[in-house]
Amino acid sequence: MTTQYMFFSGKGGVGKTSMACTHAVRLAEEGKKTLIVTTDPASNLADVFEQEIGHQVTPIGGIPNLWAMEIDSDKATQEYIDRAMEPIRAAFPPQIVQVMEEQMSGPCTAEVAAFDRFTDFLEVPTDDEKVFDTVIFDTAPTGHTIRLLELPAEWSQSIDAASAGSGQTCLGPAAAIQDAKHKYERALAAMREIDQTTFIFVLHPEAISIKETNRAISELRKLEIHNFRLIVNSIIPPEGVQNALFAARAAMQTRYLEQIETELAYPTQRMTLLSGEIKGVKRLSQVAKIFFDGNSAANTFVAESVQPQLAALVTPLEDVRARIQPNGQRRTVFFAGKGGVGKTIASCITAVWLARQGHKTLLLTTDPAAHLGDVLDSPVGDEIAAVPGQPNLWAVKIDPKAAAETYKERILEDARQRGRPESAIATMEEELNSPCTEEMAAFDKFIEYASQDQWQAVVFDTAPTGHTLRMLELPMDWSKQIDVKIFASVNASAADDVAKQRFGKVIEMMRDPEQSTFAFVMYPEATPIIEAYRAATELSSVGVHPGLVVANMVIPLEQADSDFTHARRTMQEKYLNEISERFHLPVAQIPLLPQEIKGLKMLAELGEQIYENDLVFET
């Protein structure tokens, strides 16, 4: 029997997990032994199935034939390090083992370890009891997934180079992971097998979602992966269009559905927007009847009963403005949150509003998909440039790949200027070709921009995670970590001090609420709230505390005038209050609009509404 593999991918926030779980439940109901695995570092499988899952294959209660696993990055990393270091511990003194383990403490190892654990499920098991008919992968947002799929080739290069050189990589001792190289090659081969593996892209009928899907498919084609299907999700149902707001959005969706048919000629299925959340096996089974059998959503899906909220959520506007305006010194606002919740939109609205208040503002992103230009309706390049039509506003996108190349060239040229021997430079180059470099280089580029004196406000779309910040604080010699350990083999105390001072100054700025605000963006729904809360907790562990919450796509109160919109608005009110109770922070709200948010005029109008109109904050 050949196990079938299904990968669910797409832009964050489009419903990948709901659709992956729906498929898993239907397959299990048909008697197929099914496993659903998530590689998303911010997994919410447990939330959807409403039971504990964790870092082991766990049976799902209430339905035979279904198991799930959430790959825990920290546990996978420790398992990976233990496996890679086992032969080293037996052969080398403890001091050398300690140095090697320190060199495997970076985020690169965590990424590799998660992928290593994930590839285990693409191997043919030896125990017949553990053979699954289908393995479903609920993947992380697209850019991250593509990065994982690109890594095996890079690891192979890194392993080969290290074997010929120092014998050590950021992935661990080359000799200890040679066997893994073949495993990764087999995994990629399985993904390329059309009869065995299907990539299912979930998308919304919206411009940015279509663009992201096109980009992702193009990247996967470069990896010789060709078997694609589409699920167009959140289509407004007939009962929704009785409301003026949703009727306008349905008309917008119709245009994009035609575009999808033209541009993305793959087998496509559609899924309607439901009146409530998809949680629990019973509701997943209802969704399967709608999706696979064509049952009416209105007659099939039973939304959770939500009690009307007794108290309205009211945030004084001066509290919100205090978190984003400069206060005698530069203010840096970081927008963070689950993929697809509207970080770019919140960033653009805020940057335009700050610029219109007369503050010299820099808007930047490290998002590889870089949607800033789409929202501003103006190209954003790799160099800082003024945004046409908006005085006081400049924008730039940091391309991690381009940043990594510049970073490598700078480090190697510096080494040559210092007269380092060619052997040392070759070792540096070998280290800099590791998969770690892009993350470090992008953050290094951000620091370069954030350190410039001319800005009164810096707005950062896609903030560094706690994981990135922890990387900068590892309890080891900075020379082994900063600049990706390239100074480890040379006397570089001066360079070490400069790097430590530079990074330390920026971390200090991030921790100071008078200088920095971390704003978490979310829909008023369970999954984005839980994910943001986890991320906020992680950031707090390195002394960076959130200062603002932005609730996006809030249905205006006056639009809750039909059964469908009233049900969704009531659900949102419940979660708006949960946001307030969980975070204890000022909450700004971006309303759901009849059309997509695009262009300076609309951004300026929304800025006024959100940051100057008190009525927006009443629920």
Measured torsion, CA atoms of residues 338, 76, 127, 33, in degrees rounded to the nearest 10: -10
Place of tokens 């499988």: 45
Question: Mean pLDDT in the chain?
Answer: 80
DSSP state of 560: -
Least confident of 177-186, 362-371, 450-459, 559-568: 177-186
Q: What is the DSSP string of 380-447?
A: --SS-EEPTT-TTEEEEE--HHHHHHHHHHHHHHHHHHTT--HHHHHHHHHHHTSTTHHHHHHHHHHH
Residue at 149: amino acid letter: L
Closest by Cα among 381, 354, 338, 339 to 517: 354
15: alpha, beta or left, given left = phi > 0 and alpha = psi -120 to 50?
left
Choice between 116 and 618, residue whose per-residue pLDDT is larger: 116
CATH of domain 318-401+435-465+516-610: 3.40.50.300
**C-alpha span between 368 and 144 (Å, rounded):** 9
Asked if the model's pLDDT at residue 325 lies above 60, the reply is: yes
Q: What is the pLDDT of residue 619?
A: 32
Asked if the model's pLDDT at residue 297 lies above 70, the reply is: yes
Asked if the model's pLDDT at residue 100 lies above 70, the reply is: no
Q: What is the DSSP string of 224-238?
A: T---EEEEEEEEPPT
Helix 526-540 to helix 563-583 angle (10° resolution) is: 10
Q: Where are the domains of the chain?
A: 4-74+113-156+180-295, 318-401+435-465+516-610
**C-alpha span between 210 and 219 (Å, rounded):** 14
Shared fold status for 4-74+113-156+180-295 and 318-401+435-465+516-610: yes
Least confident of 9-18, 20-29, 584-593: 9-18
Residue 592 three-state SS = coil
Percent of the chain at pLDDT exceeding 90: 35
Least confident of 45-49, 168-172, 533-537, 560-564: 168-172
**C-alpha span between 348 and 245 (Å, rounded):** 23
Distances (CA, A) of 236 to 253, 255, 273: 8, 13, 5
The CB-based long-range contact list for 446-454 (8 Å cut-off, 24+ gap) reads 446/364, 446/366, 446/398, 447/502, 447/503, 447/506, 449/362, 449/364, 449/384, 449/396, 449/398, 450/332, 450/506, 450/509, 451/502, 451/505, 451/506, 452/362, 454/360
Which residues have CB under 8 Å from 411's CB, separation 6+?
428, 432, 483, 486
Predicted confidence band at 309 (pLDDT cuts at 50, 70, 90)? low
Tell me the β-bridge partners of 451. Answer: none
DSSP state of 240: T
Three-state SS string across 114-148, please?
A: HHHHHHHHHCCCCCHHHCCCEEEEECCCHHHHHHH
**C-alpha span between 214 and 396 (Å, rounded):** 23
Least confident of 115-129, 397-411, 590-604: 115-129
**C-alpha span between 159 and 171 (Å, rounded):** 9
The two tokens of residue 137 are 């992968």
Please answer whether residues 553 and 234 qualify as being in contact, where contact means their C-beta atoms are separated by less than 8 angstroms.
no
The two tokens of residue 275 are 């009146």
Q: What is the pLDDT of residue 308?
A: 67
Rg, the chain, Cα only: 25
Which residues have CB under 8 Å from 517's CB, separation 6+?
323, 324, 331, 332, 333, 334, 547, 548
Tell me the β-bridge partners of 135. Answer: 5, 35
Q: What is the pLDDT of residue 235?
A: 95
Predicted confidence band at 485 (pLDDT cuts at 50, 70, 90)? very low
CATH architecture under which domain 4-74+113-156+180-295 falls: 3-Layer(aba) Sandwich (3.40)
Choice between 40 and 293, residue whose per-residue pLDDT is larger: 293
Mean pLDDT of 38-64: 84
Asked if the model's pLDDT at residue 461 lies above 60, the reply is: yes
Which residues have CB under 8 Å from 127's CB, separation 6+?
none
Kindly report, residue by residue over 130-166, the tens digit of the pLDDT: 589 999 988 754 445 555 555 555 555 555 555 554 4
Choice between 494 and 487, residue whose per-residue pLDDT is larger: 494
Over the range 418-433, which residues count as b (16 or more CB within 10 Å of their CB) and which as e?
A: eebeeebbbbbbbbbb
Q: What is the pLDDT of residue 435?
A: 56
